[in-house]
Amino acid sequence: MKINGNVTLTTLMLVFVSLLLALSISSNVYGMDIDISGSSCSVVNSDTFKLDNVRISGMGTYQAEFTWVKSGVKFVPASATQQSPRAASGDISLDISKSACSITGAMTLSLNNISVIGYGTYRAGFSWNSVDISFIPKSANYFWQVIDTNQSSCYNNTSQITCPGPGQSFYGQDGQYTSISPSYKDNGDGTVTDLSTGLMWQKNPGGKKTWMEAMNGAATFNLAGYTDWRLPNAKELQSIVDYTRSPATTNSAAINPIFNTTQIIDEGGAKDYPFYWAGTTHVSYNDMATDAVYVAFGKALGWMSTPPSGGYVLYDVHGAGAQRSDPKTGNPADYPYGHGPQGDVIRIYNYARCVRTM
């Protein structure tokens, strides 16, 4: 890439291509918790470098390529250091093909041996706080740490079967795949660390509340000296579901017993375990945002109409670990037989387990 004109080194202008997240997220990254301390940095070609495993709080991890363009952000003067002087000659062009890229902090990286043709080679540090960064849509690949469900059995339409091989009917079930095993540490201070995802969780959830009460409570929550708690998004909350557990199979919540879970009495008068709010809004078919996501750590009950009488019977229609939604506000009494084709029970007052990114 060339930069034409009369430019001094201390005002040499570089910029990252304007970034847009691949998901529906604000392009203003300054409000996000971005961490590259666990990232790897590599040079792709003469004007592009790549970061793998860029962690964005609540959104998982990403891979992105960054490219120099002609105008915008300058070298940070305090961190741009001339390494190998050379006489100036003509237009300036940049070449990082021989550069070494390294991570120097949670928000900072450095490039060594940037060749500025006509002016020698330089070392420069770049910080997210001083550079307008966003993901290039065509090169930003989303990586989510998928935690294994611990499922090992396979099924046909009616019963359990021996897991089929490639090309056989019912091949490709969850029980045939393994991923990262769940791993937790009780920190002894009311928090639990997920060693697989790097998230820290509230061990003991509080009482029932509406979604907005849960959101506001998380924003002001103080536990174990940390004040950056939040409601988990739907993927984060789903990651702590243990699908080997349920009220029907283990007489427990569908979660590792390292977490404390409140026992409740459900709509059918039986012992059960709660729904837990996610911070994720559930957008309906008409673009209304009146509902929010929850995950059922107990039975996912529904009122089913039973012909020919037309009466309602309460069933565990979706099972422990199901992701559904509840209105953010309202009165559960307005939904005596639930909502939707399976009559999903409506509680509105659900539980919340806060999370933070370490």
- E strands, 59-195, are 60-74, 81-84, 92-95, 100-103, 108-116, 120-127, 141-143, 154-155, 160-161, 184-186, 191-194
- Top-confidence residue, 37 or 76: 37
**Tell me: the pLDDT tens digits for 258-309?**
999 999 999 999 999 999 999 998 877 666 789 999 999 999 999 998 877 7
Is the pLDDT reported for residue 164 higher than 50?
Answer: yes
Task: Decide if pLDDT at 117 tops 80.
Answer: no
Q: Is the pLDDT of residue 57 over 70?
A: no
308 or 337, greater pLDDT: 337
Confidence (pLDDT) at 138: 33
- pLDDT at residue 64 is higher than 80: no
Q: What is the pLDDT of residue 180?
A: 79
Q: How much of the chain exceeds pLDDT 90, in percent?
A: 47
> Given the structure tokens 């409601």, which residue do they identify?
231
What per-residue confidence (pLDDT) applies to 144?
A: 58
Q: Is the pLDDT of residue 354 over 50?
A: yes
What is the mean pLDDT of the segment spanning 99-106? 79
174 or 146: whose pLDDT is higher?
174
Mean pLDDT score of the chain: 76
User: What percent of the chain is predicted at pLDDT more than 70?
Assistant: 70
Rg (CA), the chain: 26
User: Does the pLDDT value for residue 141 go beyond 70?
Assistant: no
pLDDT tens digits, 181-226: 888 999 999 999 998 888 999 999 989 999 999 999 999 999 999 9
Residue 27 banded pLDDT, cuts 50, 70, 90: very low
Per DSSP, which regions of 97-256 are E strands? 100-103, 108-116, 120-127, 141-143, 154-155, 160-161, 184-186, 191-194, 199-202
Q: How confident is the model at residue 311 (pLDDT cuts 50, 70, 90)?
A: confident
Strand partners, 60: 56
What is the C-alpha separation between 177 and 152, in angstroms, rounded? 8
pLDDT surpasses 50 at 99: yes
Quick one: pLDDT at residue 66?
60
What does the domain layout of the chain look like in residue ranges? 2-143, 183-357
Confidence of residue 120 (pLDDT cuts 50, 70, 90): low
The torsion angle over the Cα atoms of residues 188, 179, 238 and 190, rounded to 10 degrees, is 0
User: How far apart, in whole angstroms, are the C-alpha atoms of residue 332 and residue 314?
Assistant: 16
Strand partners of residue 312:
305
Between 4 and 82, the higher pLDDT residue: 82
Confidence class for position 118, pLDDT limits 50, 70, 90:
low
Band the pLDDT of 89: cuts 50, 70, 90: very low
Instruction: Using the predicted structure, report yes or no on whether residue 4 has a pLDDT greater than 50.
Output: no
Other CB atoms within a 10 A radius of the CB of residue 168 amount to 11
**pTM of this prediction?**
0.62
Res. 248: pLDDT tops 70: yes
CA angle 117, 16, 64 (to 5 degrees): 115
